[in-house]
A and B are shown apart, each in its own frame.
Chain A
Amino acid sequence: MQWNSVSEFLDMGGYALYVWGSFGCTALVAVFEIWQVHAQRSAVLRNLSNELGSNADSTES
């Protein structure tokens, strides 16, 4: 183990902003992309099921 305390770990030898900023941005981008992919899938499924619904209505009327 190379860290003597939690605060020393968080300080990253004075590079806290840069190191945590880099890892934080990477985590944010991953969270955003996972959300985007799920949102896209639900939107596509919703649109397609609406289309199916309206097609069914038009054939009935």
Chain B
Amino acid sequence: MKSTDIHWFKFAAPQNFYFLAGKMWPWFAALATLLTVIGLYISFFVAPVDAQQGQGYRIIFVHVPASQLSMFIYLVMAGWAGFGLAFNTRLSGMMATALAPTGALFAFLSLVTGALWGKPMWGAWWVWDARLTSELILLFLYLGFMALQASIDDPRRADKAGAVLALVGAVNVPIIYFSVKWWNTLHQGASVSMKGSSMASTMLTGMLIMVVAFWMYAIAIILLRVRSIILERERHTDWVKNTVRAEYAVE
């Protein structure tokens, strides 16, 4: 191993990652706050009214980021879980466990904001459309992953069982993504593609800023959650005992 490789693997140790995450999360939280303020300002005061959907289209500024993150967090979760299964690294399982609740909440938000958008535009809160149904399955996959992990007492076995479920369920993500192309769906197609965007440029800017804001929020909250998980799972180590004593000495 080259000496330059060591620095990366150093942070794969839960102890090091605990302190690194503690230093990083405030920065992501600050960025999330700043970008949310800018994004909301553009969403309501800069982006023009939509020619077809009137002011109702403004739901896009929360619906698209929530939906995108619900899918991407699942892939990251499955990636960590798969990595843990292959290399038996401790941090991987903790990361997968920390990602699941945030992903589930974004999937839930995607469905709720979608229903609130569907009612005025399509006349129905819910339709059994390919896009909507596959997103609902994504929420169930998250809930299944969390329930399965919670039902197994040994964390290492819980990681392995969860990893298999996460990896098998990953096939659903491309199905959600391409559903609007593969099937005739009520859900509109992608507004942004490689060929360009069908939106006004300020609408697009607002949406992209909101996407990045949601990203920063997700990173901050996941780093915070993984810190608790690390403490709990490494409870028998000296560094955790010292950390807990130090936390209580301050109070």
B123 at the interface (CB under 8 A from A): no
Judged by DSSP, the binding face of A is helix
* Minimum CB distance partner of A38 in chain B: B224
| Given A9-B44, A41-B228, A45-B231: A33 touches B105 (CB 8 Å cut-off) | yes
Q: How many angstroms from the CA of A13 to the CA of B120 in the assembled complex?
A: 12
Q: Is the CB of A30 within 8 A of B235?
A: no
Taking a contact as CB atoms closer than 8 A, the residue among B45, B113, B240, B241 that contacts A22 in the complex is B113
| Chain A neighbourhood of B217, CB < 8 A | 30
Do B56 and A25 touch (CB < 8 A)?
A: no
Q: Which of B57-65, B85-93, B153-161 contacts A (4 or more CB under 8 A)?
A: B57-65
Residue of A nearest to B114 (CB): A22
Please encode chain A, from 26 to 61, with 1 for each CB lying within 8 Å of some chain B CB and 0 for all others.
100110111011101100110111011000000000
Contact status B235-A40, CB under 8 Å? no
Shortest CB distance A45–B (Å): 6
Instruction: Say if the beta carbon of A5 comes within 8 Å of chain B.
Output: no
A23 touches B248 (CB 8 A): no
Closest to B48 in A: A2
Bin chain A's interface residue count. Answer: 20 to 34
Which A residue sits closest to B46, measured CB to CB? A2
Chain B residues, Cβ within 8 Å of A1? 45
B10 within 8 A of partner (CB):
no
CA distance A15 to B63 in the complex (A): 15
Residues of B within 8 A of A38 (CB): 224
Q: Are B44 and A22 in contact (CB under 8 A)?
A: no
Provided the pairs A18-B116, A30-B217, A41-B228 are in contact, do residues A48 and B244 lie with their beta carbons within 8 angstroms?
yes
Q: Is the beta-carbon distance between A29 and B44 smaller than 8 angstroms?
A: no
Give chain A residues whose Cβ lies under 8 Å from the Cβ of B212.
Answer: none
C-alpha gap A52/B242 in the complex (Å): 10
One of A15, A25, A44, A49 near B54 (C-beta < 8 A): A15
Report chain A residues within 8 Å CB of B55.
Answer: 12-15, 19
Distance between A15 CB and nearest chain B CB, rounded to angstroms: 4
Q: Chain B residues in contact with chain A, CB under 8 A?
A: 44-45, 48-49, 54-56, 58-59, 62-63, 66, 101-102, 105, 108-109, 112-113, 116-117, 119-120, 217, 221, 224-225, 227-228, 231-232, 235, 240-241, 244-245, 247-248
Question: Chain A residues in contact with chain B, CB under 8 A?
Answer: 1-3, 9, 12-15, 17-19, 21-23, 25-26, 29-30, 32-34, 36-38, 40-41, 44-45, 47-49, 51-52
Other CB < 8 Å A-B pairs besides A22-B59, A22-B63, A48-B241, 5 of them?
A14-B54, A14-B56, A21-B116, A22-B112, A29-B108
